Structure 1
Amino acid sequence: MMKTGTIFGAILALILMGTSCARTLKEADTVVVTDTDSAINGRIVGGRTVDISAHPHQVSMRLKSIQSASYSHYCGGSIISESIVLTAAYCVIGKEPSQYQIVAGANQRRSADGAIATVKEIIMHEQYTPSTYDNDVAIVVLGTPLPINNFTIKAVPLAEEGSLNGATATVSGWGTLSTGGSSANLLQEVNVPIISNELCNANYYNGLITDSMLCAGVRDTGGKDACDGDSGGPLLVNNKLAGIVSWGVGCAQAKYPGVYANVSYLLPWIREKIAEVELTLLSQN
Structure 2
Amino acid sequence: MARLTRSTTLIASLLLVAASFTAVAAANTVESSDRDSPLDAKAPRSRKGRIVGGRKVDDYDEDTGVHFIAKLFLPDANGFYCSGSVISKSGHVLTRAGCEPRVGDVVRLGGARLYDGVQAWVSKVSIHHQYDPAGDVADVAVLKIQGVNERELRRAGIVPVFLNRVWDNPHGMYFTGYGATDAAAQSAGSLTLKRAYLPVAPWWNCRRITDTILVPGLPGRGLPISPAAQVCLRGGRGAGALCERDAGGPMYRVDSNNGVKFYTLYAVSSYWVGLGPGNRCPRAMPNVGSKVAFYYNWIMNQM
Within a 5 Å distance, the mapping from 1:78-227 to structure 2 comes to 78-82=85-89, 83-92=91-100, 96-98=102-104, 100-109=105-114, 111=115, 113-146=116-149, 147-149=152-154, 152-164=157-169, 167-178=171-182, 179-182=184-187, 183-201=189-207, 203-206=208-211, 208=223, 209-210=225-226, 211-219=228-236, 221=237, 223-227=239-243
SS of the residue aligned with 2:299?
A: helix
Count of aligned residue pairs for this structure pair = 248
From the superposition, tell whether residues 19 and 81 of structure 1 become closer, same or farther in structure 2 (CA, over 3 Å): same
Structure 2 counterpart SS, 1:118:
strand
Match of 1:229 among 235, 240, 245: 245
**Counterpart contact for 1:62–1:75, Cα < 8 Å:** yes
* d(CA) in 1 for partners of 2:175, 2:190: 14
In the TM superposition, residue 259 of structure 1 has moved relative to its aligned partner by 0.6
Superposition TM-score, scaled by structure 1 size: 0.77
Separation in structure 2 between the aligned mates of residue 255 and residue 161 of structure 1, nearest angstrom? 27
Cα distance 1:191–1:264, how it changes in 2: closer, same or farther (>3 A)? same
Aligned with residue 51 of structure 1, among 58, 80, 83: 58
CA, structure 1 residues 196+145, in 2 after alignment: closer, same or farther (shift >3 Å)?
Answer: farther
Note the residue ranges of structure 1 that are not aligned, 5 or more in a row. Answer: 1-7, 275-285
Equivalent residue of 1:20, what SS?
strand
Equivalent of 1:258 in 282, 287, 299: 287
Instruction: Summarize deviations over 1:139-164 as a string: whole Å, max 9, x none.
Output: 00011235222874110001122252
2:195 maps to a residue whose letter is E
In structure 1, C-alpha distance between the alignment counterparts of 2:126 and 2:51, rounded to whole Å: 28
- Which residue among 53, 67, 71 is the counterpart of 1:60? 71
Please tell me whether the aligned partners of residues 243 and 261 of structure 1 are also in contact (alpha carbons under 8 angstroms): yes
Can you give the 5+ residue segments of structure 2 that lack an aligned partner in the other structure?
1-9, 11-21, 212-221, 255-262, 275-279
Q: Measure, in 2, the Cα distance between the counterparts of 1:118 and 1:245.
A: 22
Aligned partner letter, 2:160: A
Counterpart pick for 1:240 among 243, 248, 264: 264
Q: Which residue of 1 aligns with 2:273?
A: 249
| Structure 1 SS opposite 2:247 | coil
* Counterpart for residue 82 of structure 2: 75
Identity %: 25
Q: Give the SS at the match of 1:127.
A: coil
Q: Counterparts of 1:161 and 1:198 in 2: how far apart (Å)? A: 22
In 2 relative to 1, CA 106–16 (structure 1 residues): closer, same or farther, beyond 3 Å? farther
Letter in 1 for 2:242: A
Q: Tell me how far 1:245 sits from its aligned partner.
A: 0.9
What is the RMSD computed on CA atoms of the aligned residues?
2.8
User: Which residue in 1 is equivalent to 2:32?
Assistant: 22
TM-score by length of 2: 0.73
Q: Is the 8 A contact 1:33 1:184 kept in 2?
A: no
Task: Please give the alpha-carbon distance, in whole angstroms, between the structure 2 residues aligned to 1:57 and 1:218.
Answer: 25
Is this contact kept in 2: 1:80–1:156, CA < 8 A? Answer: yes
What is the CA–CA distance in structure 2 between the aligned matches of 1:269 and 1:16, rounded to whole Å?
Answer: 33
Contact 1:52–1:58 under 8 Å retained in 2: no
- Could you tell me how far apart the structure 2 residues matched to 1:136 and 1:241 are? 15
